[in-house]
Structure 1
Amino acid sequence: MYERQNQRHVPGHTFSTPELAWAWLRSEQTLIDRGEWTPPATRRQEQEAQAQREAETSTPFGAYARDWIANRTTPRGTPLAPRTVSEYHSYLEGPLADFAGRQLADVSRADVKAWWQRFADKPRYRHHAYAFAKSVYKAAVKDGLLDANPWDIDNAARVVLQTPKTVRATMINDLTPEDVQRVADATQPEQWQALVLLLAWTGLRPGEAFGLQRRDIKTSYIDGIPCWRIHVARAVSRSRTPDGIRVDTIGTPKTPESIRHVWLPPHLVPAMEDHLDRFSQPRAEGLIFPSTNEALPFATTQQVAGTTGKQRRDRTGGKVRPPSGFNGARESIGMPGLRLYDLRHWARRILLSAGMGELAVEQYMGHRLPAVQGAYAVLDPRQVWPVMLRCSDLAGWTPSAAAPAGRDTAVLLNEMTAEQLAAAVSAMSPDQLAVLVPTLSPEALVRLLGTQGRP
């Protein structure tokens, strides 16, 4: 013990011999003489903090990552989805397995660069695994366990698409309603034909369609035309158990905004009625698109996609077997690069072509709107039905003579914007217009006439 700067300083522990105590005092005097002295209590605190950091950084990357996964939350404050958890664990057991047992601080940037080159033949899988590892190390840096993040490779965040975005956009824009019908008709088995049409004309995600039940469909009529509304409240996703077993689970859709209603263009009603009669499960809770494999509880995108264009050989006869399912159908129409999820992109384009506004389309598709727009934008269901009629018109459908446009349609059109009104009216037959125009309000007529002559 000694006094300095009017304070008493102690070593923080006792000494077994006087010699050790005098040695400690001499070491303190040496620090004072060199100008390196700080209070012993401060030095002890720094040493304890350093020891704590060293203990924490000695944690293996795999253990720290699993704890990160277990406690990770989304921007909305909710736990990670089961499928996301499964994917993250698959990275630890797959491409990141070599790092899982190493200490956090032992992984260098050179190690990461070597790993990056080693997985060059799997660019997309490598990209996802890299993003996961970088996020884990970013958390470790924030926690003060590391000074820098070694997962810092130039351009690693960039994904090189197999098909350039402009090429895919052109393919989707070139896809016509007739092409959609052709690819649906060519999809085998027939159980998936109605699904292809549904995805293309409503923009549902495949997992949302697989979760649909009979009770989610509400049927009614407007002016004698069947009006079907579908409630999207569930989605099927695939994940893995800790034992590596794939499981399909049903839960909420991708985002809260994805819980919504979509309407069926009337030209699809006959195909859906036929599908419900032939393939859907009975009772209100029955799945509309059940699995073709009795061992699986829900349908999967692989069942719909079928075999790939690489063609497989029949195990019994050695014959070349052509691609099947959606993969075979897309080749039959000369679009081998078309993906099942591209139908959702096509749905967005066709809804815009049918007169639905940009914000309304985003809400209809279940997308998350920017904060301000999302707070005030409201999708009016009464403006959706004329768009559905226009969609069916683009598909070459015309209502029967027994179902002319009437009062209900006039009420809907009177509440539409000028652009929506023009698009809906252009889809009607002369007989329908003869019944409809006298029932329009003067304000609606002014809006309609104001669109005439616009490009």
Structure 2
Amino acid sequence: MAEKRATAQRRETWGRLRQLPSKRWQARYTGPDGKVYSARTEGGQPLTFVTKTDARGFLNLTHAAIVRGEWESPEDAARRREAEAAEAARRDVTFREYALAWLDRVQHEPGKGGRTRRPGTVMVYRGRVRNHLLGPLGDMRVRDIDSAVVRAVSTELASQPSVLKPGVDHNGIAGDAVDLLKMILRAAMRDGLLETMPDVPTPSRRSVRHDADHTPEDDVATPQQVDALYAAAPEHWRIAVLLAAWCQLRRGEVLGLQRRDVVWNLDRTAATLYVRRQKNGLTGQLSDPKSEKGVRSMAVPPLMVERLREHLDAFVGDGKNAPVVPLRERGAQHLATTTWNNAWAQAREQVAGLPEGYRFHDLRHTGLTRFAQEGATLAELMRRGGHSDVNVVLRYQKATMARDIDLAARMSATVLSELESTRGDDGTPVS
């Protein structure tokens, strides 16, 4: 009996050791929470030991961790490691992964003004990411993108030749692409993927359409040129020229007009035009105007009232939702942007004296300039044009200043003439 007690296994001072039938050793212990735990791997699988010494070493390390207050239950440790692995993977996300996820997200998030971005805007973003940013940055980790990287991308984009106008020393896309890159990186910084925002200036924006000596006044068509463009356009679409020039509508606003948007007086000698929607050039869908200020009404200038009335009678369907510029005469389908662009390109080629590449949008610029020349205030210009940013309208004040200079000169001539009539031959006033 004494011999049997001598060969019995000595109990551990803390925890329990047990040899399994496989001859490996199992270690068990009671945690601070009063529960009994077996040794486990970091992956949460049961852990056994080749020798009893190894098993005892595990118990000693576990006991020391409890004493230091660093012990975690196997479940808590597994959850922590899983979270750490997920955070590490998130921190290692590539620009391609983050940018594409960001594009999906911003379709529903409000933008700078608190409004949800339009589908067309997101489509433009996608094009810039795909065409200009994924190439140099797609496989790079977001956290590795710093000022040097952004500067290199900016320089490369600015050096690319223009697709629209070969031969010019700038391309017109670098500024917008770098601004979008910064927008994405600011979001990455808010999401904790980027520690500091790269400090790189946006490349200057220069139009590829014009030479350096081009001025906005060069894009103002004469009334004769507007009439010539009207005559050159397809008959059932040509009213678009007058709506852009003399009602100062944007292309999408013109193509989005419906019969109900033209409200006549009793004898149809005057009309009010209501802008309530636009046709999106990218999605092809009818949507709200560009901004809240875009919803507006305006008097139709008398110079185009007769032509507008004739157009509605001849080419526009009777229904209140019938498009003012239909794809087919009296049809229910709004004219597509690309179809109109092709017709416009052919019409402008038939008109002499227009700048190269004269845009349909330049007709709106023409109309607002003439409005300014008649003495319209900034508020009146903003209302007529549906602008929300006063800085955009300030360019039309150049036309107002030209008118002011002309009026000042005419006033000066009149005053001098009156003064001359009251002076003698020696220049002294005659009483």
TM category (shorter chain) comes to: 0.5 to 0.7
**Aligned equivalents of 1:307 and 1:184: distance in 2?**
11
Q: Distance in 2 between matches of 1:118 and 1:357?
A: 43
Identify unmatched segments of 5+ residues in structure 2.
1-31, 41-54, 72-76, 163-170, 391-403, 408-413, 416-431
2:305 is the counterpart of 1:254: no
Aligned residues: 331
Superposed, which structure 2 residues align to 1:222-237 within 5 Å? 226-237=269-280
Q: Please give the residue correspondences for 1:48-127 in structure 2 after superposition, counting only pairs within 5 Å.
A: 53-72=87-106, 73-98=110-135, 99-100=137-138, 102-107=140-145, 111-116=149-154, 118-119=156-157, 120-122=160-162, 123-127=171-175
Contact 2:276/2:295 (<8 A) preserved: yes
Gap runs ≥5 in structure 1? 1-9, 30-37, 240-246, 309-322, 371-418, 424-451
Percent identity between matched residues is: 22
Q: TM-score, normalised by structure 1?
A: 0.61
* Distance in 2 separating the partners of 1:343 and 1:22: 85
Q: Which residue of 2 aligns with 1:192?
A: 237
Closer/same/farther in 2, CA of residues 164 and 258 from structure 1, 3 Å limit:
farther
Contact 1:211 1:287 in 2 (8 A): yes
Which AA in structure 2 matches 1:198? Answer: L
**Alpha-carbon RMSD:** 4.3
Q: Which moved more, 1:127-136 or 1:341-350?
A: 127-136
Q: Which has the larger radius of gyration?
A: 2
Shift of residue 300 of structure 1? 3.8
1:129 maps to which residue?
177
Determine which structure has greater relative contact order: mean sequence separation of CA pairs < 8 Å that are 6+ residues apart, divided by chain length: 1
The 1:131–1:154 alpha-carbon spacing in structure 2 relative to 1, beyond 3 Å, is: closer
CA–CA distance in 1 between the matches of 2:112 and 2:202? 25
| C-alpha separation in 1, matches of 2:286 and 2:139 | 34
Aligned to 1:242: none
Aligned equivalents of 2:238, 2:128: Cα separation in 1: 35
| Residues 28 and 128 of structure 1, relative CA distance in 2, 3 Å threshold | farther
Name the CA distance, whole Å, in 2 between partners of 1:84 and 1:206: 16
Show CA shifts across 1:92-134 (max 9, x none): 4333333445532354555545544554124333433332222
Query: What is the CA distance between 1:367 and its match in structure 2?
Result: 1.2
Correspondence for 1:159: 205
1:351 equivalent in alignment to 2:385 = no
- Structure 1 residue identity aligned to 2:226: V
The answer on whether the counterparts of 2:322 and 2:332 sit within 8 Å (CA) in structure 1 is no
Distance 1:167 1:132, change over 3 A: same
- Superposition pairs of residues 167-316 of structure 1, within 5 angstroms: 167-173=214-220, 175-185=221-231, 187-220=232-265, 226-239=269-282, 247-291=283-327, 297-306=333-342
- Whole-Å Cα distance in 2 between the matches of residues 57 and 83 of structure 1? 31
1:335 aligns with 2:355: yes
Give the CA deviation at 1:355.
3.4
Structure-to-structure mapping, 1:18-37, within 5 angstroms:
18-20=56-58
Question: How far did 1:49 drift?
Answer: 8.2
Matched, 1:363 2:383: yes
What's the CA shift for 1:218? 0.5
- 2: CA distance, partners of 1:291 / 1:69: 33
Q: Which deviates more, 299-308 or 188-197?
A: 299-308
SS at match of 2:323: coil
- Given that residues 201 and 265 in structure 1 are in contact (C-alpha distance below 8 angstroms), is that contact kept between their aligned partners in structure 2? yes
Q: Which secondary structure state, in structure 1, belongs to the residue aligned with residue 132 of structure 2?
A: coil
